[in-house]
Structures are given as C-alpha cells and as structure tokens.
A and B are shown apart, each in its own frame.
Chain A
Amino acid sequence: GAGVSQSPSNKVTEKGKDVELRCDPISGHTALYWYRQSLGQGLEFLIYFQGNSAPDKSGLPSDRFSAERTGGSVSTLTIQRTQQEDSAVYLCASSRHRDEAFFGQGTRLTVV
C-alpha cells in the first residue's frame, strides 16, 4: 500500500478482555516498530522487528503484551487481560533498514 495502515482506528474494550491491534507496513520495509502514546505524553517504545532477527522486546511493559510479525510483513500487537492503564494510542511505523520511518495513524484503545 501507499502508507502504513493500522486497524482498527478505534477500539473500546472491557477491562479484562484481550485485544489485537494490526499493522500493515509499507511494502519492502524490513523494520517495523510499535509505540504507545498516552494522553498528553510522549512516545513510549514497545517493540521493534528487523528482518529475520529476533525482535527487540525491551519496551513491552508487562507479560500481558506480545507482538508477532508474520512473514516479515503484517504485525499484530496483542494485549491480554486489558487494564484501564492500557488506554492509549498505539502507533506503528515501518522503514527500510536505517532509513526514514513512516507512521500509521494509530489505534486509539479505550479500556472501560
């Protein structure tokens, strides 16, 4: 596609439920990043994929968070047993290796 696509754009879920957020990177981009932005805050790094290398998971805040990238393309961020503090905008970006990164429009997650 022309840009990074994220779905859904908005998600409201009940506390304790699991959610899956999807990111479709730009075709040919080997690097994919997930960030979280809470209201009025900066970008918090979550996880980074580069080609076939092991992902850098150092930013995941707890073991309730996990992410996969299948076939080096689409990525899914899963949050299990959601809590109210998980409410935020989840942003995905992709790039060629060591090149300009492009962001999607984000998924706004609200846990009620």
Chain B
Amino acid sequence: KQEVTQIPAALSVPEGENLVLNCSFTDSAIYNLQWFRQDPGKGLTSLLLIQSSQREQTSGRLNASLDKSSGRSTLYIAASQPGDSATYLCAVPSTYNNNDMRFGAGTRLTVKP
C-alpha cells in the first residue's frame, strides 16, 4: 500500500529565504508525482507534475525534483514571499497500474513579512 510522508509538517520562515519541502513514498513503482498547494478553505492548485522519466521540473520560483529509486521528492521555493503561505501537498499513484493519487498530510508553510 502506497504511503506518502511529508516533512516538516509545518515551517515558518522570513520573507526572502529559500526553502525545501520533502516528500517520501513507499512504493517507487510510480509513473508521476504531483505537487499541489492548498490555501485555507480552498481547493487544491496544481503546481508541478514530474513524470517518472524526469528528474526535475521548474515553474518560476519553484523547482521539484524526483528520485524514484529512493522514493523521494523535494519542492524547492526560491526567494519566498508572504503569498507563498499555504499548505503544500505531494501526491503519487497508489500503484503503477492505477492513476488514483494518494496524498501526504502536507507541509503548512508560513512566510513572514
């Protein structure tokens, strides 16, 4: 059974800092991994999708890496801003043959002005 763990559970940083969020998963037979952000009381917004053949994806100040063999992904946020404050979630398929995503519990990020 795929289990997804995110560390840390919460993170508070001053504006401008670079930071790294971690995601680990137990079944490495995945074909993609997706990072989302969730603002309080809102749905999920897709940030980045990494296919299993890729090692990283970049979008603006965000960079996500994937090490499938070790069951890990990181989300790097450069020059953090107060608007980045949200909960960040990673999701992977439950098995290679399924597309149903299983989520970590998330990292709650606070960026202080």
Chain B interface residue number, banded: 20 to 34
Complex interface bits, B81-113 against A, C-beta within 8 A gives 1, otherwise 0? 000000001010110001111111110000000
Smallest Cβ distance from A18 to chain B, in angstroms? Answer: 24
Interface flag for B44 (CB, 8 Å): yes
Closest 3 CB pairs of A and B: A48-B100, A103-B44, A100-B49
Other contacts beyond A33-B100, A97-B99: 17, CB < 8 A: A33-B101, A43-B44, A48-B99, A48-B100, A91-B43, A93-B101, A95-B99, A98-B32, A98-B93, A99-B49, A101-B34, A102-B46, A103-B36, A103-B43, A103-B45, A103-B46, A106-B42
Interface flag for B76 (CB, 8 Å): no
Chain A residues bordering chain B, tally (CB within 8 A): 23
Q: Which of A81-105 contact B (CB under 8 A)?
A: 91, 93, 95, 97-105
A43 touching B103, Cβ below 8 Å:
yes
B99 touching A45, Cβ below 8 Å:
no
Smallest Cβ distance from A52 to chain B, in angstroms? Answer: 14
A106 touching B43, Cβ below 8 Å:
yes
Smallest Cβ distance from B113 to chain A, in angstroms? Answer: 25
> CB within 8 A of A56: which of B98, B103, B105?
B98
Interface flag for A31 (CB, 8 Å): yes
Known A-B contacts A99-B49, A106-B43; the reply to A31 vs B103 at CB < 8 A is: no
Q: Which residues of B contact A43 (CB under 8 A)?
A: 44, 89, 103
A101 touching B101, Cβ below 8 Å:
yes
Interface flag for A66 (CB, 8 Å): no
Q: When chains A and B are docked, how far (Å) is the Cα of A95 from the Cα of B99?
A: 9
